[in-house]
């Protein structure tokens, strides 16, 4: 059973930074891919970034150059460094993991790419 617990959310002003963390426990295999998603009120959940066992990463166009996804060496903690935050980055941020090896995608992650989800951490960016 996989458990994912996000932390690090909060309220910041436009232009600020936050670093989200996602602690993974249970059966986490080193070849699993992991990703970050977000959901704003009244909107669908959207993919933000993903990282693969190869170390490759992929991002949504809206966050490229501002957000960085990474993992610790043990691959039990996932991070999302968010810089130059904008009000439109506001939402609940979720981490997710996908079983099995994945060939890196060259597109933003999609909900049905992932199997397990955390409960989310809120990010609010004020103008």
Phi, psi (degrees; rounded to nearest 5) at 87? -55, -35
Contact 1, 27 (CB under 8 A): yes
Tokens found for residue 116: 């397990």
Identify the DSSP state of 44: -
Provide the CA 88 distance to its chain's centre, in angstroms: 16
What's the pLDDT score for residue 33?
93
Q: Which residue has the tokens 């609010």?
A: 124
Average pLDDT of adjacent 10-residue blocks, the chain of 127 residues? 94 98 85 94 96 94 98 92 98 94 90 95 97
Q: What's the pLDDT at 29?
A: 74
């Amino acid at each position: 059973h996989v458990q994912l617990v996000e932390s690090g959310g909060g309220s910041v002003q436009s232009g600020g930074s936050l670093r989200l963390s996602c602690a993974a426990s249970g059966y986490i295999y080193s070849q699993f891919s992991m990703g970050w998603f977000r959901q704003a009120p009244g909107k669908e959940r959207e993919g933000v970034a993903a990282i693969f066992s190869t170390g490759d990463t992929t991002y949504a166009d809206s966050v490229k150059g501002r957000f960085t996804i990474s993992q610790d060496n043990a691959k039990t903690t996932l991070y999302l460094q968010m810089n130059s935050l904008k009000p439109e980055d506001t939402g609940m941020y979720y981490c997710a993991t996908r079983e099995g090896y994945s060939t890196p995608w060259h597109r933003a992650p999609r909900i049905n790419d992932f199997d397990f989800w955390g409960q989310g951490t809120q990010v609010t960016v004020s103008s």
